[in-house]
């Protein structure tokens, strides 16, 4: 049974926790358990820790996961999107890759703390690149993307470019079957 999950929010601990809860509820649904989950996503991104958690969780699901970009998949939301074994996008959607940043919650930091933050940002960039490399493996690229350069230089990809980069397999209008079970993530 197809279950659709609609993730139309920022990436944060609360929204990822809710995403995990609805996916588990879909799989364990007593009457009509999910055999496939289609994740419709539109998100400006947010917390990288939460985003990598969502990606790693989604990869553990024992059912087929399809992801669809409804409008905007930006920043860490790209990592979540890439968890789909099949990936599609609406014709007027976009993908935004951009340099990572650290929000400074405290005005005071010593040089060791600044090194730690720099190391964390470098590691997050490395993990972004690994996800893109892994999830686009086997794609016949016109020219293999250099993900690090695309991320650090800010790249906006429309669906056609997203297809040539291997982010999606096809462009299609979003269609939600009437007979599926629908879930929402709105935290």
Q: The domain that contains 120 carries what CATH number?
A: 3.90.226.10
Distance CA 64, CA 60 (A): 10
Query: Residue 143 — pLDDT band, cuts 50, 70, 90?
Result: confident
Residue 120's domain spans which residues?
2-185
Distance CA 65, CA 86 (A): 7
Question: Which string of b and e fits 133-143 if b means at least 16 CB within 10 Å?
Answer: eebbeeeeeee
Q: What integer is the mean pLDDT of 152-167? A: 96
pLDDT in tens, 81-128: 999 999 999 999 999 999 987 776 767 778 898 899 889 999 999 999
Q: What integer is the mean pLDDT of 160-176? A: 96
Q: What integer is the mean pLDDT of 156-171? A: 96
- Does position 136 have pLDDT exceeding 80, yes or no? yes
pLDDT of residue 111: 87
Distance CA 91, CA 172 (A): 6
The count of domains in the chain is: 1
State pTM to two decimals: 0.95
pLDDT in tens, 32-89: 999 999 999 999 999 999 999 999 999 999 999 999 999 999 999 999 999 999 999 9
- Does position 187 have pLDDT exceeding 80, yes or no? no
Cβ–Cβ < 8 Å for 54, 20: yes
pLDDT of residue 80: 98
């Amino acid at each position: 049974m197809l279950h659709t999950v609609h993730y139309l929010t920022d990436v944060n601990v609360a929204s990822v926790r809710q995403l995990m809860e609805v996916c588990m509820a879909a799989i364990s649904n007593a009457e009509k358990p999910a055999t496939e989950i289609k994740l419709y996503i539109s998100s400006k991104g947010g917390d990288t820790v939460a985003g990598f958690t969502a990606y790693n969780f989604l990869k553990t699901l024992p059912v087929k996961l399809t992801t669809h970009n409804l409008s905007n998949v930006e920043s860490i939301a790209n990592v979540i999107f890439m968890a789909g074994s099949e990936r599609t996008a609406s014709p007027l959607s976009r993908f935004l890759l951009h340099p990572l940043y650290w929000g400074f919650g405290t005005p005071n930091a010593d040089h060791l703390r600044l090194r730690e933050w720099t190391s964390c940002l470098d590691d997050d960039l490395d993990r972004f690149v690994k996800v893109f490399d892994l999830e686009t493996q086997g794609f016949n690229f016109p020219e293999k993307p250099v993900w690090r350069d695309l991320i650090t230089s800010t790249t906006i990809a429309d669906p056609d470019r997203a297809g040539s980069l291997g982010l999606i397999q096809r462009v299609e209008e979003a269609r939600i079957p009437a007979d599926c079970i629908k879930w929402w993530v709105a935290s």
